Amino acid sequence: MDIKKEFEQTLVLIKPDALKNSLTGYVLSLLSEFHTGLRFAGAKIVYVGRMLAEEHYAEHQGKIFFPSLLEYIMGKLHYPDEPWKRRVIALVYQGTDAVKKIRDICGPTNPLVARDKNPGCIRALGTLVALKDSDGNIIGERMDNLIHASATNEDAEREIKLWFTPTDIPPFMRAYPVETNHLHYFFKDGNLYLKHEPESICLLSPGDIAWKTDIDALRAIERGPQSASSLGSVAAKYLINREKEVG
């Protein structure tokens, strides 16, 4: 048995359209250990704030569908008037070929292509939504495709570290190095502080276990000119389910 392959992980997000259409049980059945040979390593219900949405989909910044994609993953499109229903289910699956196995069951990104090329895959149940400008002209389309799944092992590592802290994952299942933190780190308005600021949020306290790459990033930010983007990718998960972001 290749132990390294056994530890391969992937991130799955059951998106707001799947929740709204009560497809959670169906999706979980298709991804079950019986079908995929993969095991749950992490699970949480997440209210997706703008920072987390932007970090998760950073590679799509600037594209025509990006603003709509953020609203979609934040649950604003499917629950415009019911913010308490806005959430996604974030899951980590683990096992040999986790990334590929789950991507295959999800199917192509575009639900129409999914229906055509791979009937029965999860995304075949998705839909296309026209994107309009302020004058009502169609400028593109958004794909509501029910599920996110990491596309590569590198994406999986970045995404799992973005959505989960090490202690969200059982110790024997963690696939990435962790470190014990020795400082206080506080966050407020996009900035990092080593001492408590009024209305700041404590990201990490001495003794907390964190991803090693997060501690490395915090040390670098603390030393050099603040890099807002790398701070966002560390801070976002510590803000999960803390603040109500209504609007």
Residue choice 12, 52, 143, 203 for contact with ligand CDP (CB under 6 A): 143
Interaction partner, residue 65 (ligand CDP, Mg ion, none; CB < 5-8 Å by kind): ligand CDP
Tell me which stretch binds ligand CDP (CB under 6 A): 6-14, 33-41, 141-149, 201-209: 141-149
Cα 183 to its chain centre, rounded Å, is: 27
Is residue 148 flagged as an active site residue? yes
Choose between 30 and 151: whose C-beta lies nearer to Mg ion.
151
Q: Which is nearer to ligand CDP, 94 or 145 (CB)?
A: 145
Residues in 28-67 that interact with ligand CDP by CB under 6 A: 65
List residues bridging with 9 in a β-sheet: 94
Give the one residue of 145, 165, 181, 213 binding ligand CDP; rule: CB under 6 A: 145
Measured CA to CA, the distance from residue 161 to residue 163 in angstroms comes to: 6
Distance, CA of 38 to chain centre: 19
- Binding residue for ligand CDP, selected from 148, 158, 161, 174, defined by CB under 6 A: 148
Helix (H) or strand (E) holding 131: strand 127-132
Is residue 10 close enough to count as binding ligand CDP by CB under 6 A? no
Q: How many residues bind ligand CDP (CB under 6 A)?
A: 8
CA distance readout (Å), 37 to 13, 106, 175, 229 = 19, 16, 17, 36
Q: Which of 56, 60, 148, 182 is the catalytic position?
A: 148
By rule CB under 6 A, what string of x and - marks binding of each residue 94-123 to ligand CDP? Answer: ---------------x--------------
Q: Is the dihedral of CA 174, 60, 47, 105 positive or negative?
A: negative
Q: Which stretch binds Mg ion (CB under 5 A): 35-43, 117-125, 147-155, 206-214?
A: 147-155
- Which value, in Å, is the radius of gyration of the alpha carbons in the chain? 19
Nearer to Mg ion by Cβ, of 104 and 133: the residue is 104
- Sole residue written with tokens 């110790």: 171
- For residues 245 and 234, what is the distance between their CA atoms, to the nearest angstrom? 19
Burial class (CB in 10 A: 0-12, 13-18, 19+), 159: buried
Stretch that binds ligand CDP, among 16-24, 144-152, 187-195, 226-234 (CB under 6 A): 144-152
Q: Which two tokens stand for residue 204?
A: 């990490």
Residue 101 interacts, among Mg ion, ligand CDP, none and using kind-specific CB cut-offs from 5 to 8 Å, with none
Q: How far is the CB of 151 from ligand CDP (least distance, A)?
A: 5
Residue type, 202: C
Q: Give the rounded distance of the alpha carbon of 93 from its chain centre.
A: 13
The reply on whether position 151 binds ligand CDP by CB under 6 A is: yes
Written in H, E and C, the secondary structure of 93-107 is: EECCCHHHHHHHHHC
Binding residues for ligand CDP, per CB under 6 A?
65, 69, 109, 142-143, 145, 148, 151
Give the residue numbers annotated as catalytic, written as ranges.
Answer: 148
